[in-house]
Structure 1
Amino acid sequence: MFNSSSNTNIALYWGQDQAGTQLPLSTYCRSNSADIYVVSFLDSFSGKQTNGTGEMAVSYEGPMTSLGGEISICQSLGRKVLISLGGESGQYGLDSGADGETLAGQLWDTFGGGKNASVQRPFGNVIIDGFDLDIEHGDPVGYGDLVNRLRVLYATDTSKMYYVSAAPQCPFPDEWITQALEQSEVDFAFVQFYNNDCGLDEPKNFNFDQWADFAQTRAANKHMKVFLGVPASRKSADTGYVGVPVLTRYIQKLLNHTSFGGVMMWDASSAFGNRDHGKSYVEYAKGALNGVVSNGAGTNFVSGVVFEVVFAVVVVWIL
C-alpha cells in the first residue's frame, strides 16, 4: 500500500530511455523496488486559451492508448504514475497565473478526472495519479497558480488521491521552481543532486539540509517530502553518480530526517539496468531504505547492458 508520508519511497522517471535498454512501464512496475513512476515528458505547453496545445515525447513503440494500459497495470499493482511537465529541452512556459490555471484545466481533462467529453484523452479512460513539474528554463511565473488550480480540481474527485511533485535542481534556491513551492502545496520535491556542485559526489557542498529546512519553514506544504535525487548510472548524468556503498551511507544518514521521503532516480532504464552481483542499483537503494545494507556491490558499480532494447520510437501527440 502506497504511503505518501513514508521515508522509504523510490520514484523513477520513465520514458526517455537514458540507458537505451528501456522496458515496458508495466515490466518495471511488477518489481517492488519502486513506488512512483514519472512518465516524461510533456515538453510543449503554454496554457493559452487560443493555443492550448501540448506535445509529449516518450520513447515508446505503439499508440498512447497502449501506454494507458501499461499505466493501468502499474496502478493495479499499487504504483503511482505521474506525468512530468517540462524537461531540459522543449518549448514550454507560462506568461501569467491565468495561463497556469488554464493549463491545469487542460491537464485535468486530458489525463485526470475531468469529464469534458470533447477533449481527446491519449491514455483513454485511464486516470493518472498526478503531475510533476520538471521546469528547467523560462520564467517561474504561473506554476504556483497551476498547482493551486490542480488542487481545486483534485478535490472534485474523491474516488482517489492525487499528487503533485516537482524536481528542482539542488542549487538553492532553484531558479524555476522555488516560487511554486512557496505559493502552492507540492507533495514531493525530487531534488536533483547531480549535474551541479551540490551533488552526491561533492559531499562538502551537499545541501539536503538546506532543502529540508526550506520544506519545513518556507514551503506552502510544511510536510512536503524531500527526495534524494540521484543519477542511476554513470551515463545518466555528467556528475553526481556514486556507487552503492556511498549511496547507502547517504540514505542511512537521511533516514532520520523528518522531511526525507526517499530516493528519486533518473531514470528507470538505468536504475534497473545498472547491475552488480545479480541486483540492480534501484534494488540496492530500496534495501538501504528498508535498513538492509549489502556488501555485494563495490565502489566500481557500473552500468550493465542486460536488457534487450525494445522501445526506440519517439511518439509525439497533440492535445
Structure 2
Amino acid sequence: MATEFSAKSAFLLGILLNLAFKTKAGSIVIYWGQDGREGTLTSTCASRKYGIVNIAFLSIFGNGKKPQINLAGHCDPSSNGCQKVSNDIRNCQNQGVKVMLSIGGGTSGYTLTSDAEARGVAEYLWNNFLGGRSNSRPLGDAILDGIDFDIEGGELHYVALATRLSELSRGGRKVYLTAAPQCPFPDDWLDGALATGLFDYVYIQFYNNRPCEYNTNNPKKFKDSWNQWTSSVPAQKFFVGLPASQQAAGSGYVGANILKSQVLPFVKGSSKYGGVMLWNKYHDDRNGYSSQIRDSV
C-alpha cells in the first residue's frame, strides 16, 4: 500500500512540476530595422520565432529637432518610402506578434531638454505611430502596439514622456510601454521613468556591461543584478537581454547550451520572468540563436 501510494504521489508530483514549468514559458523579443540584409518585417513574424518585434529606431528627437526614424537599408523615410512597412506591421499583428517602435539607440541624436518637450515628443509618437492622427505617418496608417525606450544617453525627462503616452492611451487601445536599460542598477537615464509603474516589460541589457554580464565562472553578479531589477522595478515582466551572436556586441554573448542549462533555470525562478530579448534580427539569422533556444525559453 505504501509503495503504491508513493508511486502515485511521485507521478502526481511529476505532473505538477511539469505544469509549473510550462507556466514559466516565455517569449523571444527581437530588434529589427538596423540591417537591410535581415529580411522584411513580414518574414520576421512569419518565422514564428518571436512574440514581440521592436522596430529600431526613432533615433532623432528632442532639443528642438524634428523626430526622424532610421531603418538603415530597409527604406528611406524622407521620401515616405517606409510607409510600405504598414502592411507588414498588420501582417505581424494578425499573427499575434506585437510590433513596437523603439526610440533612442546607441547614437547621440536624441535628448529631451524639458518636461514640456518630452510631452511634445509623446504627442508626436501618439499621432504618428499610435492611435492618433497625422498626415505624415512615417510607417503608414498601421497602429503600433507601443513604444520601447532604448535610451543610452542624453538628458532626463523620460518620466514626462512615459506619463504623457499613458495619458493619451487611456480609454482606448492598450499601448504597451517597454524599456531596455543596461544591467547596472539603477539605470542612468530611465530610473525615474521605470519607478512610475507605467512600464509593462523591461528588457535588461546583459551585454556590453561586463560587471553584470553572465559569467560561467562567477555567475553571482548576473544573478544579483537580475534579482535587484525584478524586485525593485514595478514592471509586469522582465527579459534577459542578450546579443544574438558573438559579433552582435562587444561582450556578453552566452552560448545557447549555457543559456538553456544555467541561465534560464535561474531566471525562471522569478514570477516576473518574461523571456529573452535578442539584439538583433540580422545576427540571429546568421547564428540561428533563437531557433536553438526557443523551446527552452
TM-score in terms of structure 2 length: 0.84
The one of the two structures with greater contact order (alpha-carbon pairs below 8 A, sep at least 6) is 1
Q: After TM superposition, give the deviation of residue 205 of structure 1 in Å.
A: 5.0
SS of equivalent residue, structure 2 residue 238: strand
SS of equivalent residue, structure 1 residue 67: helix
Q: After TM superposition, give the deviation of residue 211 of structure 1 in Å.
A: 4.2
* Partner Cα separation in structure 1 for residue 197 and residue 267 of structure 2: 25
SS of equivalent residue, structure 2 residue 294: helix
- 1:107-186 matched pairs, under 5 angstroms: 107-115=125-133, 117=134, 119-139=135-155, 141-158=156-173, 161-186=174-199
SS of equivalent residue, structure 1 residue 98: helix
Q: After TM superposition, give the deviation of residue 6 of structure 1 in Å.
A: 6.8
* Partner Cα separation in structure 2 for residue 179 and residue 207 of structure 1: 23
Structure of larger gyration radius: 2
Matched, 1:242 2:276: no
> Which residue in the other structure is 1:85 paired with?
103
| One-letter amino acid of the structure 2 residue matched with residue 126 of structure 1 | A
- 1:259-298 matched pairs, under 5 angstroms: 259-274=272-287, 280-289=288-297
Q: Per residue, is there more helix in 1 or in 2?
A: 2
Instruction: From 11, 28, 33, give the equivalent of 1:10.
Output: 28
The answer for unaligned runs of 5 or more in structure 2 is: 1-22, 76-80
Contact preservation (8 Å) 1:201, 1:239:
no
* Partner Cα separation in structure 1 for residue 126 and residue 60 of structure 2: 16
> Which residue in the other structure is 2:243 paired with?
231
- 1:179-258 matched pairs, under 5 angstroms: 179-197=192-210, 198-201=212-215, 203-217=218-232, 219=233, 222-249=234-261, 250-258=263-271
| One-letter amino acid of the structure 1 residue matched with residue 140 of structure 2 | G
For residues 208 and 264 of structure 1, do their structure 2 counterparts lie closer, same or farther at Cα, with a shift above 3 Å needed?
farther
* Partner Cα separation in structure 1 for residue 207 and residue 68 of structure 2: 27
* Partner Cα separation in structure 2 for residue 230 and residue 265 of structure 1: 5
Contact preservation (8 Å) 2:29, 2:53:
yes
Instruction: From 63, 88, 92, give the equivalent of 1:74.
Output: 92
Contact preservation (8 Å) 1:21, 1:273:
no
Contact preservation (8 Å) 1:52, 1:106:
no
TM-score in terms of structure 1 length: 0.78
Contact preservation (8 Å) 1:199, 1:205:
no
SS of equivalent residue, structure 2 residue 295: helix
Aligned positions, number: 267
> Which residue in the other structure is 1:309 paired with?
none
* Partner Cα separation in structure 2 for residue 180 and residue 79 of structure 1: 26
Q: Deviations over 1:203-223 (max 9, x none)?
A: 435435444444434x3xx34
